[in-house]
Amino acid sequence: MEIEFAPHIEEIKRALDNEIDESNIIAELKKLLEYRVPLSEAKRSLIKKYGGGEKSILRKLKDIQIGDRNIEVTAQVIEISRKTINVKNLEKTVFSGVLGDETAARSFTAWDDFDLNAGDVIKITQAYVRNWQERPEINFGNRSKVTKLTSKIQVNQNSEVKKLRELKDGDINTHTVFTILNIESHDINTKDGTKNILSGIAADEDTKLPFTAWVILPELAAGSTVEIKNAYVRSFRGVPTININENSVATKLDKELEYKGNCRARIGDIVSKDGAYDIAIEGNILSIRPGSGLIARCPECSRVIQKGMCRVHGKVDEKTDMRIKAIIDDGTGALTLVIDAILTQKICGYTIEEAQQIAKAAMSQKAVEEEIKRKLLGKMLAAQGNMSKGEFGVTLVASKVWEPPETIKERAIELRGRIAV
């Protein structure tokens, strides 16, 4: 058997009760791929052709990929909450949260009520994986079967201490040490009603990351340095976030970690990361992307919408907003810089109302985008915010934007030095 086809042939054979010649399966699979049939569809086609009942494919959470279908997962419910969404103008209650096994933690959405609670160990069959915030999310509904188990998920309890910069989405049994820069409590809606949680910013010597505590622990206080064991990491808006729950252990330490990191970074150094928190970049604006200028948002969820239709809330009374989507380059790399209405006003000099007047006078929304191009193309800007990586590349959503005055002076000195040489 050709080694590159081995795992796929095994999946097909597992779904078939009758004996089929492997060479025939390989030949037909190759033929379908030559006709550019997607691999997952090609396997389903062969299983159906040979009379198989497409059995679920076993997966560990670390191995799931966006687009997977008909998978079987055994995991523990770490967190679960209930929310109401709009599907084709009808309200539907769904359940979402986090599943964990011995390999990773992943988000999930259950489209039916399977009476799940935090701590339940479950086996799910006929599940599929969708893209949620550029991360794989397990989905299951009326075609899926969920069985509660009495067994436990065995996780290695002796994990090594990691620096904050080493943490990544999906990490489980996380062991780390940090100082709490700030912390606040707020309420969220869960399956069992309103729940009070803590969130804040953690820092060690060179990195800052957000954290969420799903339990109220006295060790978690502003200024405290804590050792955290058995936490997990889940990306939120592209940034790795430390999650602390009832299985985590927090120990207050008699020391303080002084954050000495420089939030200024070269774009080339961060584009390889999955996400970064509170970093600053500086570069030239190379282009202003479509979708800049005046835009419409859903008043409920703030998604950008077209013609008053939100994919979650249906027909809505749109809210006018303004933003800039620009490509910024510092010579080491480039990324998309997103600037909100307040910061757009700061660097361009006009409000949403004034932008609407520009569009009205020109009888075109495009006029605002063109005005932004006139003001910003080629300009040197500095920005600070959170960076994430997704389907459309690397994006930094700015919390601050400014024109670096020292840049002109530094470049003049550098140029004078070159001329002198």
DSSP string for 306-344: BTTEETTTEE---EEEEEEEEEEE-SS-EEEEEE-HHHH
Per DSSP bridges, beta strands 309-310 and 293-297 are unpaired
Under 8 Å between Cβ of 127 and 58: no
Q: Return the structure tokens found at 120.
A: 């339940």
| Alpha-carbon gap, residue 372 to 292, rounded angstroms | 8
Q: How far apart are CA 207 and CA 202, in angstroms?
A: 8
Helices (H), 160-209: none
Contact present, 59 and 75 (Cβ < 8 Å): no
Q: Of 112, 276, 127, 288, whose CA–CA distance to 209 is shortest?
A: 276
Q: How many CB atoms lie within 10 A of CB 132?
A: 17
Q: Which of helix, strand or coil describes residue 220?
A: coil
pLDDT of residue 313: 79
pLDDT at 223: 93
User: Tens-digit pLDDT profile for the chain (421 aa)?
Assistant: 444 677 777 777 766 655 667 788 888 888 888 888 888 788 877 777 766 655 678 899 999 988 888 899 999 998 888 888 776 677 788 999 899 998 989 999 999 999 999 889 999 998 999 988 778 899 998 888 999 998 887 766 567 899 998 898 889 889 999 999 999 999 887 767 788 999 999 999 988 999 999 999 999 999 999 999 999 998 887 788 999 988 899 999 998 888 887 788 899 988 887 788 899 999 999 999 999 999 999 998 888 888 888 877 788 899 999 999 999 999 999 999 999 999 999 999 999 999 999 999 999 989 999 999 999 999 999 999 999 887 778 999 999 999 987 655 665 665 566 566 5
pLDDT of residue 263: 80
Cβ–Cβ under 8 Å, residues 148 and 74 = no
Strand bridging mode 319-329 / 314-315: unpaired
Phi and psi based region of residue 17 (left: phi greater than 0; alpha: psi -120 to 50; beta: remaining): alpha
Q: What is the pLDDT of residue 163?
A: 92
Best CA proximity match to 349, nearest among 372, 366, 327, 369: 372
For position 419, what pLDDT does the model report? 67
Q: 273 phi and psi, to 5 degrees?
A: -85, 160
pTM over cut 0.85:
no
Q: Which amino acid is at 386?
A: N
Q: How far is CA 121 from CA 77, 101, 116, 390, in A?
A: 6, 9, 9, 31
Region of 39 (left: φ > 0; alpha: ψ -120 to 50; beta: rest) is alpha
Phi-psi region of 365 (alpha: psi -120 to 50; beta: other; left: phi over 0): alpha
Contact 50, 16 (CB under 8 A): yes
pLDDT value of residue 47: 74
* Structural tokens at position 204: 């060690």
- Tokens for 407, please give them: 């840049």
Question: In sequence order, which ranges of 132-255 are alpha helices (DSSP H)?
Answer: none
Give kind and range of the element (H or E) at residue 199: strand 193-203
**CA-to-CA distance for 356 and 367, rounded, in angstroms?**
10
DSSP secondary structure of 12-63: HHHH-SS---HHHHHHHHHHHHHTT--HHHHHHHHHHHTT---PPEE--GGG
Give the pLDDT of residue 1.
Answer: 40
